Amino acid sequence: MQENLRFASSGDDIKIWDASSMTLVDKFNPHTSPHGISSVCWSSNNNFLVTASSSGDKIVVSSCKCKPVPLLELGEGQKQTCVSLNSTSMYLVSGGLNNTVNIWDLKSKRVHRSLKDHKDEVTCVTYNWNDCYIASGSLSGEIILHSVTTNLSSTPFGHGSNQPVRHLKYSLFKKSLLGSVSDNGIVTLWDVNSQSPYHNFDNTHKAPASGICFSPVNELLFVTIGLDKRIILYDTSSKKLVKTLVADSPLTAVDFIPDGASLAIGSSRGKIYQYDLRMLKSPVKTISAHKTSVQCIAFQYSTALSKSSLNKGSSNKPSAVNKRTVNVSAAGGGVQNPGIIRDATTASIATILPQPMTAAVGKGAVVAQDKADTGVNKGGDEPTGNGDGLDFLTQLNSMFPPRKHPGSSGTSVLHSSPLNVFMGSPGKEENESHDLTAESKKAYLGKQEPKDPFKQVSCLIMILDSLRVFITNKHNEVHH
């Protein structure tokens, strides 16, 4: 596991924990809501935490580089209760009690777009892998996909008004696979291209299902939890349940630890359990985290495994833990990676779950992506990177002086997120991730095309001819 990796949990307040030791690092509460903090998410550089409360009092962006410091408040009084950042941390999507999904431009601190397609309270929002789509679920049981590039929304789909959607997550490997959990306990994997079920797991939970999470290292594995105290592991290829565990209290929040070998699960009694997938009989650690139920758990992005994957393979392989790959689709308003949902040969439990006494989990982290998973966003009004206008919240610059990047001139900014202005230029961990601006300028489309050898020879001949003419002229000048 990456050194100093942390995770945040929310309940009656927000607590930040050391992921290795499960010890408390800090706690704070920038909200005034008496009902607790309902949603948290980390920025891509792990320096900032975005939070929303159950009452929707406001959205708060806090610096967590050192001591947590609230820096920015958005949507005060707009009843936004769930949040998700895009992969560049330039845009934030939120939803809430007013049936509205808002896309926020963090540089201008304003609503970039407001979507009013839902008929009831929005319970969950998430960006897809390339930031071109937003998926949102509501109490009415509707799931709606919104294209960021074309500004078009899909026809609502789901299981009906008796099945409120509680959580949505995209698969990290099968890009058009979206998982949902509902109040009636049904778990569904959706093919977002056809907006129809890839598979329904009926009667898996005997009470409302509350969370879903896909493995960051295993393309076949995902997990759901519910108020029936059950933790259920699934195989997406065989469409079967792999393992079912029963905890000692209703479960309310879940996230994979970035190495993929463990889970952190929150309960209605304020406890957080750590389960090692190689020893699933009981939690390996239990901590009393909150006075109320744990409403959300979110781990920071791992850079150690990301670096390892970059060193071992080409750029068309997924980072082990980066929640969304940063290449952006050319067909932004079209199909989300067609043809990648497919049945594979049935895998054994040993294939799905990491086994004890094996080598480091990070070594198995790199799994080849489907070939259609590369491209460039060409048509959207939501840019993937632009360094202009980094005067965002300039009054705070004195509080957070700029930090120069090691080995650089100190003038270039690798990441264009307006959040970076609080901390100056990004540090080492950001240098190891993709430069979105550079990629979009190069119009990166997967593997770069090899250079034409004939063009190279022609260019070399032209250079030699020019050099010969130059030498001849100099020779003539000397003799005259």
DSSP labels, 122-185? EEEEEE-TTSSEEEEEETTSEEEEEETTT--BPPPEES-TTS-EEEEEE-SSSTTEEEEEETTS
pLDDT for 425 equals 37
- pLDDT-derived band at 163, boundaries 50, 70, 90: confident
Give 173 or 438, the one with higher predicted confidence.
173
Indicate the range of 183-192, 277-286, 373-382 predicted with least confidence: 373-382
**3-class DSSP string for 191-250:** ECCCCEEEEEECCCCCCCEEEEEECCCCCCEEEEEECCCEEEEEECCCCEEEEEEECCCC
- pLDDT-derived band at 227, boundaries 50, 70, 90: very high
* Amino acid present at 174: K
The answer to whether residue 354 scores a pLDDT higher than 70 is no
- pLDDT-derived band at 341, boundaries 50, 70, 90: very low
* Amino acid present at 115: L
Whether the Cβ atoms of residue 177 and residue 170 lie closer than 8 Å to each other: yes
Indicate the range of 158-167, 176-185, 465-474 predicted with least confidence: 465-474
Average pLDDT value for the chain: 77
* Amino acid present at 325: T
For the chain, the residue count is 480
Phi, psi (5° rounding) for residue 367?
-125, 135
* Amino acid present at 141: G
Is the alpha carbon torsion for 154, 156, 157, 158 positive or negative? Answer: positive
pLDDT for 12 equals 96
pLDDT for 442 equals 37
Q: Which residues are within 8 A (CB) of 274 and not within 5 positions of it... i.e. 6 or more apart?
A: 22, 257, 262, 263, 264, 265, 283, 284, 285, 286
The answer to whether residue 132 scores a pLDDT higher than 60 is yes
Cα-trace Rg, the chain: 24
Whether the Cβ atoms of residue 54 and residue 33 lie closer than 8 Å to each other: yes
The answer to whether residue 424 scores a pLDDT higher than 80 is no
Give Cα 343 distance to the centre of its chain: 25
Determine the straight-line distance between the first and last CA of the chain, rounded to whole angstroms: 74
Whether the Cβ atoms of residue 140 and residue 116 lie closer than 8 Å to each other: no
Residue % of the chain over a pLDDT of 90: 59
Measured distance CA(381)–CA(366) in Å, rounded: 32
Structure tokens, 89: 């941390």
Whether the Cβ atoms of residue 287 and residue 22 lie closer than 8 Å to each other: yes
Whether the Cβ atoms of residue 341 and residue 176 lie closer than 8 Å to each other: yes
Measured distance CA(138)–CA(180) in Å, rounded: 11
Q: Is residue 299 helix, strand or coil?
A: strand
pLDDT for 459 equals 60
Structure tokens, 122: 């929005």
